[in-house]
Amino acid sequence: MATLCKPAVAVPENVITMADTLELARKVHHGHPQLDLALRLIRNTGVRTRYIVRPISEILRHPGFQARNVIFEEEAKRRVPDVVRRALDNAGVGAAEIDLIVFVSCTGFMMPSMTAWLINTMGFRHGTKQLPIAQLGCAAGGSAINRAHDYCTAYPEANVLIVACEFCSLCYQPTDLGVGNLLANGLFGDAVAAAVVRGQGGVGPRLECNTSYLIPDTERWIGYDVKATGFHFVLDRRVPATMEPLSPVLRRFARERAWDASDLDFYVIHAGGPRILDDLSRFLEVDAVRFGHSRATLENHGNIASAVVLDALRRIFDDGGMRPGSKGLIAGFGPGITAEVCMATWVGDDTTLDDELAGLVAPQLAGAAAA
């Protein structure tokens, strides 16, 4: 048993609204032959606000790959610890009880990774295992959950901390002028998210089984060109259409557990863009309303890469969580094109359950005593 406890999420203080984005695009790309198309695409994202680690004026001046990585490290060290502390608190687990840290990020590169710094500075045991993942992009959120699940399956007493640290604004490339890049400039946001997967106890989705699926021959559809100026995002216009071939995979995966992918109680979906959600809703025959928490992440934070799934799940918790026994699906999508998916059953707090039972029983006892 492995339970994904309530995630903690933080977004930076520098806000960009849709209006800011459109105005910037008009100004920066004035005269671009496809500007109107880009503006329409950006408007269609539905992203109302995004938050970035540095003021937009600073982001627009690309300071070089080296400076960007220095900023990544500074901002990660500044912003990750508080989120980690809150994730530990949410799970009722101390740093010293964590056995594995899965740290995922595709927007800055450090070696050693942040796992070493976290262990040295935040009270984790020096024997804590480290699993940094940089190359799974937006799918890494799902992957982190799934690898944590695998780990707790191997070691049922273990606790795994997962951290998604994505500063997408640090991958802004002013020289990339394709429509896909212009769209990306209006879509991605920055965030840090963390959660604990507890082998024993915990409240939240109990991870039942997980799977991964690589859509054949789509390697070039999402990815990075790695250049002297850093990571250059590549986005093929065919990406949103991948929900069509993925849907039967999700259906089959659910059916293996005798679940119906079209009729689950909760969905935590990587909201890479609005069409991902629209198409998945259509092909899975799930009312789009059921993806509301994922869409709220997209609208309020933009595509925050591997942090999306943790933020969407956090919203479900904030809405009061699910009833124990509720069945759900968590799905991350990213380069490959890879889907990292798991099925989960919501588990409640046994203590609370005991209290509730006690509450039910107590009046009867009182009645018996009065009798």
Least CB distance to its own copies at residue 164 (A): 15
Q: Choose which of 40, 94, 123, 135 interacts with its own copies (CB under 8 A).
A: 135
Q: Choose which of 141, 189, 223, 302 interacts with its own copies (CB under 8 A).
A: 223
Residues 77, 310: Cα–Cα separation, whole Å: 20
Whose Cβ is closer to its own copies: residue 113's or residue 159's?
113
Judged by CB under 8 A, which stretch of 110-118, 162-170, 171-179, 281-289 contacts its own copies? 110-118
Tell me if residue 138 is catalytic: yes
214 lies in the binding site for its own copies (CB under 8 A): yes
Least CB distance to its own copies at residue 47 (A): 23
Cα 73 to Cα 104, 112, 138, distances in angstroms: 14, 11, 20
The helix/strand/coil state of 116 is helix
128 lies in the binding site for its own copies (CB under 8 A): yes
For tokens 């918790």, the residue is: 317
> What is the size of the binding site for its own copies (CB under 8 A)?
55
Residues 297, 342: Cα–Cα separation, whole Å: 19
Least CB distance to its own copies at residue 262 (A): 21
Least CB distance to its own copies at residue 61 (A): 15
Q: Choose which of 167, 213, 291, 346 interacts with its own copies (CB under 8 A).
A: 213
272 phi/psi in degrees, rounded to 5? -65, -30
For tokens 């590169």, the residue is: 109
Least CB distance to its own copies at residue 179 (A): 21
- Six token digits for residue 222: 């999402």
Judged by CB under 8 A, which stretch of 6-14, 89-97, 187-195, 214-222 contacts its own copies? 214-222
113 lies in the binding site for its own copies (CB under 8 A): yes
Residues 285-344 that bind its own copies (CB under 8 A): 335-336, 338
116 lies in the binding site for its own copies (CB under 8 A): yes
Burial class (CB in 10 A: 0-12, 13-18, 19+), 49: middle
Q: Choose which of 136, 171, 197, 316 interacts with its own copies (CB under 8 A).
A: 136
215 lies in the binding site for its own copies (CB under 8 A): yes
- Six token digits for residue 272: 């890479």
Least CB distance to its own copies at residue 68 (A): 9
Helices (H) and strands (E) counted in the chain, each on its own, are 12, 14
Burial class (CB in 10 A: 0-12, 13-18, 19+), 354: exposed
Q: Choose which of 26, 29, 48, 129 interacts with its own copies (CB under 8 A).
A: 129
Q: Choose which of 53, 83, 133, 194 interacts with its own copies (CB under 8 A).
A: 133
Q: Choose which of 24, 28, 110, 177 interacts with its own copies (CB under 8 A).
A: 110
134 lies in the binding site for its own copies (CB under 8 A): yes
The helix/strand/coil state of 131 is strand
- How many whole angstroms from its chain centre is CA 289? 19
**Are 6 and 90 spatial neighbours (Cβ–Cβ below 8 Å)?**
yes
Q: State the DSSP H helix or E strand holding residue 314, giving kind and residue range, or none if neither.
A: helix 308-318
Residues 94, 59: Cα–Cα separation, whole Å: 36
Burial class (CB in 10 A: 0-12, 13-18, 19+), 66: exposed
Q: DSSP E strands: which ranges in the chain? A: 3-4, 8-10, 14-17, 49-52, 100-104, 129-133, 159-167, 190-198, 204-214, 222-227, 230-235, 266-269, 327-334, 338-347
Q: Choose which of 6, 50, 79, 147 interacts with its own copies (CB under 8 A).
A: 147
Q: Choose which of 13, 27, 228, 368 interacts with its own copies (CB under 8 A).
A: 228
Whose Cβ is closer to its own copies: residue 39's or residue 118's?
118
Binding site for its own copies (CB under 8 A): 64-66, 69, 106, 109-113, 115-117, 119-120, 126-137, 143, 146-147, 150-151, 153-155, 211-217, 219, 222-229, 231, 335-336, 338
Residues with a known catalytic role: 138
